[in-house]
Amino acid sequence: MRILGGKWTGSILWHLKDEPVRFNDLTRLVGGASKKMISDRLKHLESHDLIERTVLETRPLGVAYRITGRGRTALRFLDELRRWSESLPAADASPEVDRARAAAFDAPAPKRKRRKPTKG
C-alpha cells in the first residue's frame, strides 16, 4: 500500500493506461494536483518500476511517461477499486465523491496540438 497509497498515484497510473502521456498533458488530466506534487509522484512511481520516463527529442525538450508491465498489474487493483466504488448505494455517494470519481477515472484524453513544420 505504500507504493500506491499516495493521493494522486492511482489517478496518474490510470491516465497512463492507454498510451504514453507528456508531463504537461498529465498535469491537465490530474486536476487539482500541483506540478510539483505530480512530479514527486512520478519520481516515486518510476523508482518502483511502475512507470518509465522518456526524454523526447523535440523542441522544446519534453518528457513522456508510460506504464510498465509491473504498473499494469496495479491497474487490475485500481479497476477493482473503481468497480467497488461504483457499486456503492446512491445514499453513500455525495457530490464530492462524484467529482473525485470523475476526476480519477473519467477525464478525457488530452487533445494534442499539431505543430507546423519549420522551414530550415
What is the tens place of the pLDDT at every residue in 40-95?
999 999 999 999 999 988 888 899 999 999 999 888 888 888 788 788 776 556 67
CATH class belonging to 9-105: mainly alpha
pLDDT for 83 equals: 86
User: Cα dihedral sign for 13, 18, 24, 26?
Assistant: negative
pTM: 0.68
Percent of the chain with pLDDT over 70: 70
Share of the chain above pLDDT 90, in %: 36
pLDDT at residue 38 above 50?
yes
d(CA 111, CA 43): 25
- pLDDT at residue 22 tops 90: yes
**Chain CA centroid to CA 106, Å:** 11
> Using alpha carbons only, how large is the chain's radius of gyration in Å?
16
Determine the Cα–Cα distance for residues 32 and 42; give it in Å rounded to an integer.
16
| Spatial distance between the Cα atoms of 14 and 84, rounded to a whole number of angstroms | 16
